[in-house]
Amino acid sequence: MCTTIIVGEHATVDGSFLVARSADSSSLKAQHFVIHPAVTGQSGVYSCKAHGGVNDFSYPLPENAMRYTTVPNWKTQLHGAVGFNEAGLGLTGTESIFASDEALSFDPYNKVSGITEDDIPNVILPRCRTAKEGVLLLGKIIETQGAGEGFGVAFVDQHDVWYLETGSGHQWMAERIPADSYFASGNQGRLGFYDPKNENQLASPTLVSFAAEKGLYDPAKGPFHFSAAYTRDDGRDRVYNDPRVWIMQKILNPSIEQPVDDGRNFAVYLKPEKKISLADMKAIMRDHYEGTEHDPYGENLNGAEPWRPISVFRTYEAHVMEVRPNLPLAIGEVVHVAFGMADLSVFVPFYHGLESVPEQYGLGTDHCDNRSVYWKYRKVQTLAMTNYPKFAPIVKKAYGDFEATIDEERRQFEARYLELVKTDEKAANAELNRFNLSILARAEAIAENLQNEILTQMTADTEERIVFKNNKSKD
């Protein structure tokens, strides 16, 4: 269960493409950061089952695979969440979405061997070079092998950002995000009207005819609407999904007034009232209806709150993809990752030109440890949630100050890089790696210090409650 927001390049403060998503399942689901090297002369097939994945999907390996990154599940090294490849194509997936029972009765998911979020990064990123190429390949796989579940996937490169949604087991639609607008989704099919003549839209060849044949769409009632024809829309959406889309649109378009439970009528795309920044995207990933009666992290933790927030404790990672076409690829593409619950985590940047990560980024299981990066951040979050009003401000200030510091340091570094790369690309890239690794190390140190700070205060609080001292001394 996830939340996604995608921003076109003319709607951002600096002309960048911005794509953010939170990935939510289990707080015990440790995530790794993996750099997959380029491989030549391959043969054979990729097998989800061979990795211990969810089903028996398989697909031929590319003879020559490009280098790419993923943020996978510790246990299978699949379900790669987000990544970029050496050509500059990035993707984030998936947003879990749900087809209607009626649509699935005619075209069910291929749960035995259809493609799922376990497989998409490992199939697309080694071989596709552009966002549109990624859409077309994933679409062809859905048509021929089927989707094993309902999902949405965003693809971004230096020129375009596209979003694909499944309609049923073998039907799909994708659309290029308008340059001046943003798209927001929370576990529901959101794409709207489809015109096969629109060059900014792609779909399975029988998308409309299948819907008409099966009674999912009546041509006499007007133009074809994708989500109305294929996707679920019931009471579950009203409290679990609609509020997240509503709050994202309210943050970026404060003047808009619309009922929270009217999700089917929310605009698919909106032009923001102010240009959107990287900081805005991070703030959205951290949102939990602060300042309202629906905030579940107030004086008392409220797991029964009906409005599901964007930032939940069981988020295992959230990220913002930043693509700046006006910069060299090495620094122009960055994925900012917050391990664990975004509200109580720090977004650390991974530049496209980063060549390796420390060992601890490949460690971590479903049992807490002292070495893995994931568990360093998760410990802070777990401790802070024991008294959110007291400890969350301490965590947020520490991470907020750090993010502000590295934002300025990034501007200075990138200016140096642009000068140095003109005369010495090798030296420029060495500087990039030193700089990026220093940020990762400093962020880890802050997390370790926060653990100690919170535990110190918890120790003092515990002693105050149960000290057992006599009237004059503590002996």
399, two tokens: 């991470």
Backbone angles phi, psi at 310, to 5 degrees: -65, -50
CA gap 110, 104 in Å, rounded: 10
Take residue 52 and report the two structure tokens written for it: 């211990």
CA distance 114 to 286: 33
Q: What are the residues facing 297 on neighbouring strands?
A: 301
Both structure tokens of 13: 């403060």
Annotation marks residue 2 as catalytic: yes
> Using an 8 Å Cβ cutoff, are 318 and 283 in contact?
no
HSE (side-chain half, CA atoms, 13 Å) at 297: 26
Inter-helix orientation angle 242-252/278-285, to 10°: 150
Helix axes 373-385, 425-465, angle to 10 degrees: 30
Return the bridge partners of 153, or none.
Answer: 93, 164
Q: 3-class DSSP state for residue 94?
A: strand
Which contacts (CB < 8 Å, 24+ apart) does range 194-202 have? 194/224, 194/225, 194/226, 195/223, 200/175, 200/176, 201/173, 201/174, 201/175, 201/176, 202/132, 202/135, 202/136, 202/139, 202/162, 202/164, 202/173, 202/174, 202/175
Q: Which residue of the set 2, 48, 128, 368 is catalytic?
A: 2
CA distances 289 to 161, 251, 252, 341, 432, Å, are: 28, 11, 14, 15, 37
Residues serving a catalytic function are 2
